[in-house]
Amino acid sequence: MADKRRFELFADLLLQRFPATRRVFDVAGGMGRLNEALVARGPSCLTFDRRHKHLPVEYAQRDFTLDEPCTADLVVGLHADGATRVIIEYSAKHQVPFAVVPCCSDNSMPYKPWMRHLADLAISLGLTVHELTLPMEGRARVLVGEPAPGRRLSS
């Protein structure tokens, strides 16, 4: 059972790490609870997920792809399953930072190798990667990736 505090904890971590954030893409955001937690702290947020049932937040009811026009200055995924890899690829393509809390892999890989695989993917795409941890039980490791300073798009 995933920790129900994960939305608030991740929102706090994101805004500590990226305090100037104005708009977030919350990918595979499910009901939109991370969106609620982020908006309560200041930035605007657009959640992408295919679910019909969700909270009354800004919500794009579709899969997130690399072709999504980038109007965010941070792209994130909390237990985003099959979308986690896309978030990292999107970050590199559009030169915006990402933060993910990986859970299940998209290729049956166990958790630890999946974490390593995602970090290696980000590094191979030219991103600088850091790892943090949310103060909760369960899948709490956070991967943060940022474009090299000279390559980051100004907003």
Ligand X SMILES: C[S@@+](CC[C@H](N)C(=O)[O-])C[C@H]1O[C@@H](n2cnc3c(N)ncnc32)[C@H](O)[C@@H]1O
Binding positions for ligand X, rule: CB under 6 A: 27-30, 48-51, 63-64, 78-83, 86
Is the Cβ of residue 66 or residue 148 nearer to ligand X in the bound state? 66
Least separation in angstroms between residue 18's CB and ligand X is 18
Lookup: tokens for 18: 């990226």
Alpha-carbon span 31 to 35, nearest angstrom: 9
Least separation in angstroms between residue 139's CB and ligand X is 10
Is the Cβ of residue 27 or residue 75 nearer to ligand X in the bound state? 27
Is the Cβ of residue 55 or residue 123 nearer to ligand X in the bound state? 55
Tell me, what amino acid is at 15?
L
Least separation in angstroms between residue 148's CB and ligand X is 26
Q: What is the DSSP letter of 142?
A: E
Judged by DSSP in three states, 125 sits in coil
Report whether 50 contacts 61 (CB < 8 A): yes
